[in-house]
Amino acid sequence: MKVTTAEKISEFFKQFSGADRVLVVISADPDAVASAMAVGRLLWRKVDSVTISCVNEVDRPDNLAMIRMLKVALVPFAQLELNTFTKTVIVDSQPSHHKLMARLSPQVVIDHHPDTGCRAPFTDIRPAYGATATILTEYLHAARIIPSRNLATALYHAIKTDTDDFKRQTLIEDVRAFQYLFRRANIPMARRIGQAELRLEYLKYFKTALLHMRLRKGRVFAHLGPVVNPDVCVIIADFFMRIHTVRWSIVSGTCDSKLVVIFRNDGSRKNAGRVAKESLGCFGSAGGHKAMARAEINLAEFKEPPIDFKDDRKVAAWIVIRTEKRAGRKAPTAKPNFEITPNA
């Protein structure tokens, strides 16, 4: 029998008492930040305190703008004393998604990513939803809480971002939540947050991508070599999807001894999560949704690497061959005709 949102929120509240000091842990992005803010509002005056902490370094311009403009108090995970908290909540992630989260035993997990077998006293994992913010908006509505202007703006921006303006995986629930929030959000502020996409130092990576990209039957491949932040790969992968002839965008780069590969597609009878997992999952973590996915390979863990990961040209060719093969198309037999400038 289907559990209603009213039943869900009732069970959620049962996890806490008035003396609890609650820690909300996120990997900060718009959906995670907004969802954490919503948890804080739900627990306002119901617990002793709520602290929001991020396991990642926040340096994407849109995330920084969102945190600054909406006045979000965000504490880096490294600065916490975990024994001072009595309850832990994870939103927009699951413990297996990050090594720091894996150390925790959360009482509550709320997420919209595919279920990784997460176990907690309270879980609400809905992979079909376009955003975790939609789930939290339903919680607020069920609890008869009208979100403040800043909270409505955060949730509105989160749904807009995670569904890519409803071009990615979306349910009618996402649309209804978006419409509800639209009437309460600061739309000009949300627009300013969304437009804060680039840092000046990111521009050089666009040059590298454009000079060395490979376009093959609607698929763009680009390996950027060393990058200052993996988010650069995300930004450029999304950029290539704005080209009307591009159906797939696969952009990679290396950062902190990791190879990061970002997958994007137009959502038409494609599954980025499956391609990521089948092509690179045996080398590290990989997966995602039908239209967007990610793979991360820890290069330091290889005793006998499949290729020389220090050679950017070989890395680029290897990614093409691995992903083309798993996507059901015959892999190219000749070496791809493109070069990568080391340390670009």
297 and 222 inside one domain: yes
- The average pLDDT across 99-127 equals 93
Count up the domains in the chain and report the number.
Answer: 2
- The single-letter DSSP state of residue 301 is G
172 and 283 inside one domain: no
Assigned token pair, 157: 């921006």
pLDDT of amino acid 344: 32
26: domain CATH number is 3.90.1640.10
Confidence class of residue 295 from pLDDT cuts 50, 70 and 90? very high
112 and 189 inside one domain: yes
264 and 121 inside one domain: no
Domain boundary among 195, 225, 253: 195
Judge whether 85 lies within some domain.
Answer: yes
Question: Which residue, 132, 80, 131, 84, is CA-closest to 108?
Answer: 132
288 and 237 inside one domain: yes
The residue among 329 and 11 whose pLDDT is bigger is: 11
Judge whether 343 lies within some domain.
Answer: no
Give this prediction's pTM.
0.68
Domain boundary among 149, 168, 195: 195
144 and 253 inside one domain: no
**E-strand spans in the chain?**
21-26, 49-54, 74-76, 87-91, 108-111, 122-125, 214-216, 219-226, 248-255, 258-265, 285-288, 292-298
Domain coverage including residue 258? 202-326
Confidence class of residue 164 from pLDDT cuts 50, 70 and 90? confident
- Specify whether the CB–CB gap between 122 and 109 falls below 8 A: yes
Report how far residue 190's alpha carbon sits from residue 150's, in angstroms, rounded to the nearest whole number.
Answer: 10
Residue 265 neighbours by CB distance under 10 Å: 24
276: domain CATH number is 3.10.310.30
pLDDT tens string 130-159: 999 999 999 999 999 999 999 999 999 999
Judge whether 309 lies within some domain.
Answer: yes
Confidence class of residue 267 from pLDDT cuts 50, 70 and 90? confident
